[in-house]
Amino acid sequence: MAHDSPHLESTRRAGAARTVAATGFAAEGLVPHAWSNGPGVRYEVHQHAHHKVLFCVAGSITFHTEDRDFTLGPGDRLDLPAGTAHSATVGPDGVTCMEAYRNEALR
């Protein structure tokens, strides 16, 4: 699922977010890793050289792009194309995400 701009897909299913994420990554041949942060953690503006695919599996996080904000909860997926400038703010209950990178690097 390639997109030219950030794309949020909501598949919120109570208690099934990790399964939804694992199934999504496996279907696309991606190998994810998990990470977590505590409440209120902020990431400054940055970008990645590769397309980032991220699923929120617990808690919440808001990604801020030049065009809009994307708030993710359990089961939500965000695709960030290579080179997309973004920052992020973790929600009040912290967050756990699974993410992987596509081979679609910046040219």
**Is pTM, for the whole model, over 0.85?**
no
For the chain, the structural domain boundaries read 7-105
Mean pLDDT of the chain: 85
Residue range 46-80, pLDDT digits in tens: 999 999 999 999 999 999 999 999 999 998 999 99
Q: Which two tokens stand for residue 98?
A: 């699974």
High-pLDDT (> 90) share of the chain, %: 63
CATH match of 7-105 with 2.60.120.10: yes
Is 14 a residue whose pLDDT tops 90? no
Angle at 37 between CA 64 and CA 8, to 5 degrees: 35
